[in-house]
Amino acid sequence: MPSHPTLLRALRGETLPRPPIWLMRQAGRYLPEYRATRAEAGSFLDLCYSPALATEVTLQPIRRYGFDAAILFADILLVPHGLGRKLWFAEGEGPRLEPLTTAADVAALADDAAMHAHLAPVYETVRRLRAALPEETALIGFAGAPWTVATYMIAGRGKDEQAGAKALMREAPDVFAALMGRLIDATTAYLEAQIDAGAQVVKLFDSWAGALVDDAAAFEAWIQEPAREIRSRLARTRPGVPIIAFPRGAGARYEAFAKAVMAEGVAIDSETPAAWARDHLQPHVAVQGNLDPALLVRGGEELDAAAEAVLDALGAGPFIFNLGHGITPDADPDNVARLVQVVRGEAGR
């Protein structure tokens, strides 16, 4: 019988001889097979909402590299789409949403039942993935954290320092708080549905957490507290399913975040020293991270040495090897294969 997936063992606090490895955006444009499937789909959203094609691109890096976990292929902005906001992707420019700025906009957001109906293809993808994956390969579901999703909903697109969300927070705090409350509810319901469909781990991506890192009160209220609340609710309604939280750019606030949220895992970005994470985070949670994605472009001895440094810093505690952010489209697939060999001790130390 296969043993429990190593990812789940690490999230239970085990220190393993070799850590599990998966990579953020491991299904993506750096792979020729992904580009072929993306062309078949017609549009990015069509790909996200096609269970057959979304399953295929999720499995592609598993077939190629044998990662220890697969992560559902979807997008963090499917939740606002499911809540009734218009969403489209401008070629070469990223996602676009109709901006949300008023109390009426928040009140008009769809209820959970309508959201689930809209996102039913995503849940079907999760079911297909769980059926298709080897037993030893963990399946990760995910959602965007409320702050990051709110920044896109308010501005209608990603902007530096999320000025639109900060302005609404300051000028219309009741509207902002109502939006965040609705996103906490919707995100929890979305993750619950993914778990019910077969996700064994869920990850909460707060990609723009760093925009609030210089404001302690705002960081606690809108980064830390929503993550704590979502984790607390899931612990009650779906006990035993671990959560990985990723407050990207949290800096020194990572430690307080980890203690307050009590997620089973915390992912760190490439700017966070691995040795600091070993001393300040690993006593409390499994750490995931944090190789610089640029090294998968450059490769060579520099890649090997950097991967070994991460292993040396974090390998003596509960640890999941990953990047500090997602694989970039210009990454070399051969460098990804080399990284897997290094992490698994197949390339020599």
Active site positions, annotated: 25, 29, 38, 75, 152
Cα angle: 53, vertex 70, 281; to 5 degrees: 145
Q: What is the 3-state secondary structure (H, E, C) of the chain?
A: CCCCCHHHHHHCCCCCCCCCECCCCCCCCCCHHHHHHHHHHCCHHHHHCCHHHHHHHHHHHHHHHCCCEEECCCCCCHHHHHCCCCEEEECCCEEEECCCCCHHHHHCCCCHHHHHHHCHHHHHHHHHHHHHCCCCCEEEEEEECHHHHHHHHHHCCCCHHHHHHHHHHHHCHHHHHHHHHHHHHHHHHHHHHHHHHCCCEEEEEECCHHHHCCCHHHHHHHHHHHHHHHHHHHHHHCCCCCEEEEECCCHHHHHHHHHHHCCCEEECCCCCCHHHHHHHCCCCCEEEEEECCCHHHHCHHHHHHHHHHHHHHHCCCCEEEEECCCCCCCCCHHHHHHHHHHHCCCCCC
Contact call for residues 54 and 125 (beta carbons, < 8 A): yes
Q: Return d(Cα 59, Cα 103) in angstroms, integer.
A: 41
